[in-house]
């Protein structure tokens, strides 16, 4: 089973957990392009870097793919950037 692990800041982790946030963004770089070119079964969204086995800080979802988008977001600065919008709903 292939699993994509994403480590998140608290505000994004809790927004995904509540269902408010449906996509997690990663800037389009060679690194993320290579990682997302693989086929995954699940995505594990983690609150920071939890201790091994601490499932209270991990959300497990089925892999549903991603889309390429251009967004403006405080995390990436004021200019629009190309991102991979990973589906986490």
Alpha carbons 10 and 3: distance in angstroms, whole number: 21
Whether residue 44 contacts residue 59, with contact meaning beta carbons closer than 8 Å, is answered with yes
Please give the pLDDT value at position 13: 97
The pTM of the full predicted model, rounded to 2 decimals, is 0.91
On the question of pLDDT at 76 being above 90, the answer is no
Give tens-digit pLDDT for 57-71: 999 999 999 999 999
Tell me the CATH number for domain 3-87: 2.30.130
- pLDDT above 90 for 44: yes
Could you tell me whether strands 58-62 and 42-47 are parallel, antiparallel, or unpaired per DSSP bridges? antiparallel
pLDDT at position 77: 86
Residue range 27-51: mean pLDDT, rounded: 96
pLDDT at residue 18 in the model: 96
């Amino acid at each position: 089973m292939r699993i994509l692990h994403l480590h998140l800041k608290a505000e994004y982790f809790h927004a995904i957990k509540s269902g408010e946030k449906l996509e997690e963004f990663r800037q389009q770089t060679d690194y993320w392009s290579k990682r997302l070119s693989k086929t995954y079964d699940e995505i594990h969204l983690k609150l920071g870097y939890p201790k091994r086995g601490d499932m209270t800080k991990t959300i497990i979802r089925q892999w549903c793919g991603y889309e390429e988008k251009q967004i403006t977001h405080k995390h990436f600065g004021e200019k629009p950037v190309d991102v991979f919008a990973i589906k986490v709903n």
